[in-house]
């Protein structure tokens, strides 16, 4: 079969969130764009990650609400849970969002969509199926896949990952989850609330990238719901024992369950790309990029999970904007991370932007740490969701990091992303007015907590007030 040769301004390899953002932005600004995708349009986020996991968590939340109604004067019968129907809900949510990421939509925008995987055959040439494509600029946005760790015996037992769990239609009787990061804990809570017994097996501590002060609140909440979280348990061997699966830890602990899920991290999708033929440097885990997201081949950019940095949909979307500015207009553009927030969507949620307390104290000589608890937020009290707090890391009146654990932490953190992105002062946050009663008041209260001792415990302020009052008519 002869190859059909194509030329384009911009070639995007991968139709996940980052690749789609680049393609949509570039074509609407007048560039000629070709988009390659050998798998599903929408990538991991739509089909296996953010969207389905939050949909399943929503099902679990409804089931859980029925069990805590007595706190509000409502007596509910034990909910009848249809796990298969919950998974149908997940599929329906994906189907509702899918048209936004579809081939039809992007072809309607003017993008040439080719449903094939791409591989480099030269510094600016890529082969995809029967096409050989030469591009002025190329963007690699191939994403990542679940890591399958080399645990002895794993090949002898059935297991699922966040990619394959969505095919299940019968609930696990007892789900063993190897990995206590965000994916592991979100799936643990969702399945526990949908009726499964759940054990999380984590080699270190749960949510290891986050502030232990906050993770303690999440872990305690999950344990209170009946989830077993075994920390410091490195899986050494897996085997089948009749109808059960056994996971043995290095310290001798033995965990037995009916189903096994692996959630130990993600790896960049590099295998099909033949990066060496384009002169692109990469490690075993990611493509090397500079601050402008350019690879060692200056015509080629890489964005999203494949770069090995913060692996979040919104990061890929943000990086897409950086690349469009550089590739289309030739303008200097650099990607930053200090204003990028992230959230773990357990209940309570855990969100972070900027530096954690430990990171801030390591970087700066003087850091003020301000905490304000949900316990004192009236809206949280009305909804009986008072577990958690906000923690501000402040240097010379400006926040350099914010950590939040509790109800709507993911919503609350957005304000602080704007504050840090624009180098704003806490006084600007303190001057805002939030409607009463809302959870959003917590942000203003935290800023006010910073100023309270400066105003109410200052002898100078008190002396000035007394002086002014003496002379006021």
Q: Which residues are annotated as a binding site for FAD?
A: 54, 118, 142-144
Closest-CA residue to 215 (of 62, 374, 351): 351
Largest CA distance in the chain: 96
CB 127 within 8 A of CB 240: no
Residues 6+ apart with CB under 8 A from 300: 123, 124, 137, 138, 139, 140, 278, 280, 294
Cα-based distances in Å from 5 to 127, 133, 295: 9, 6, 25
d(CA 128, CA 34): 11
Four-point Cα dihedral 458, 460, 462, 465, nearest 10: -140
Binding-site residues sit at 54, 118, 142-144, 179-186, 202, 265, 305
Measured CA to CA, the distance from residue 116 to residue 1 in angstroms comes to 16
Cα 203 from chain centroid (whole Å)? 21
Task: Tell me if 118 sits within 8 A of 127, measured CB to CB.
Answer: yes
For the annotated binding site for NAD(+), the residues are 179-186, 202, 265, 305
Terminal alpha carbon distance of the chain: 96
Q: Hey, what are 20's tokens?
A: 């789609």
Specify whether the backbone of 21 is left (phi greater than 0), alpha (psi in -120 to 50) or beta: alpha
Q: Hunting for tokens 């799936």 — which residue is that?
A: 187
Name the packing angle between helices 441-456 and 409-421 (round to 10°). Answer: 60
Instruction: Please return the burial class of 24, using the count of CB atoms within 10 Å of its CB with bins 0-12, 13-18 and 19+.
Output: buried
Nearest to 279 by CA among 296, 294, 293: 296
Q: What is the 3-state secondary structure (H, E, C) of 412-441?
A: HHHHHHHHHHCCCCHHHHHCCCCCCCCCCH
Cα–Cα distance, 274 to 295 (Å, whole number) = 14
Q: How many CB atoms lie within 10 A of CB 287?
A: 24
Which backbone phi and psi does 6 adopt, to 5 degrees?
-125, 150
Query: What is the rounded CA–CA span in Å between residue 218 and residue 439?
Result: 18
């Amino acid at each position: 079969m002869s190859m059909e040769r194509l030329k384009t301004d911009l070639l995007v390899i991968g139709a996940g969130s980052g690749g789609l953002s680049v393609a949509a932005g570039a074509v609407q600004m007048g560039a000629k764009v070709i988009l390659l995708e050998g798998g599903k349009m929408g990538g991991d986020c739509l089909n296996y990650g953010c969207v389905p996991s939050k949909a399943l968590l929503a099902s679990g939340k409804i089931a859980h609400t029925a069990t805590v109604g007595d706190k509000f004067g409502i007596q509910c019968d034990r909910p009848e849970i249809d796990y298969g129907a919950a998974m149908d809900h997940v599929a329906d949510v994906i189907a509702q969002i899918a048209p936004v990421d579809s081939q039809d939509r992007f072809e309607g925008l003017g993008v040439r969509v080719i449903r094939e995987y791409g591989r480099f055959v030269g510094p600016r040439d890529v082969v995809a199926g029967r096409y050989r494509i030469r591009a002025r600029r190329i963007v690699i946005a191939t994403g990542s896949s679940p890591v399958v760790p080399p645990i002895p015996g794993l090949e002898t037992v059935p297991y699922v990952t966040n990619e394959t769990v969505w095919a299940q239609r019968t609930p696990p009787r007892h789900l063993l989850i190897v990995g206590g990061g965000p994916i592991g804990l979100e799936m643990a809570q969702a399945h526990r609330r949908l009726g499964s017994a759940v054990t999380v097996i984590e080699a270190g501590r749960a949510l290891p990238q986050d502030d232990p002060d906050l993770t303690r609140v999440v872990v305690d909440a999950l344990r209170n719901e009946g989830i077993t979280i075994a920390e410091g348990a490195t899986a050494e061997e897996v085997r089948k024992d009749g109808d059960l699966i056994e996971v043995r830890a290095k310290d001798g602990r033995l965990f037995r369950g009916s189903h096994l899920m692996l959630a130990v991290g993600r790896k960049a999708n590099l295998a099909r790309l033949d990066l060496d033929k384009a002169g692109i440097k990469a490690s075993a885990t990611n493509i090397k990029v500079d601050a402008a997201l350019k690879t060692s081949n200056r015509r080629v950019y890489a964005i999203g999970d494949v770069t090995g940095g913060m692996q979040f949909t919104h990061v890929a979307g943000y990086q897409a904007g950086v690349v469009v500015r550089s590739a289309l207009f030739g303008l200097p553009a650099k990607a930053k991370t200090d204003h990028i927030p992230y959230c773990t969507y357990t209940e309570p949620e855990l969100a972070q932007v900027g530096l954690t307390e430990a990171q801030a104290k390591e970087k700066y000589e003087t850091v003020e740490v301000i905490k304000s608890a949900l316990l004192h937020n009236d809206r949280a009290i009305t909804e009986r969701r008072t577990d958690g707090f906000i923690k501000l890391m402040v240097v010379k009146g400006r926040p350099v990091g914010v950590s939040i654990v509790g109800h709507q932490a993911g919503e609350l953190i957005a304000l602080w992303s704007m504050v840090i992105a624009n180098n704003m002062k806490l006084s600007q946050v303190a001057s805002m007015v939030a409607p009463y009663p809302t959870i959003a008041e917590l942000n203003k209260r935290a800023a006010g907590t910073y100023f309270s001792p400066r105003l109410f415990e200052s002898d100078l302020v008190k002396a000035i007030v007394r002086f002014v009052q003496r002379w006021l008519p």
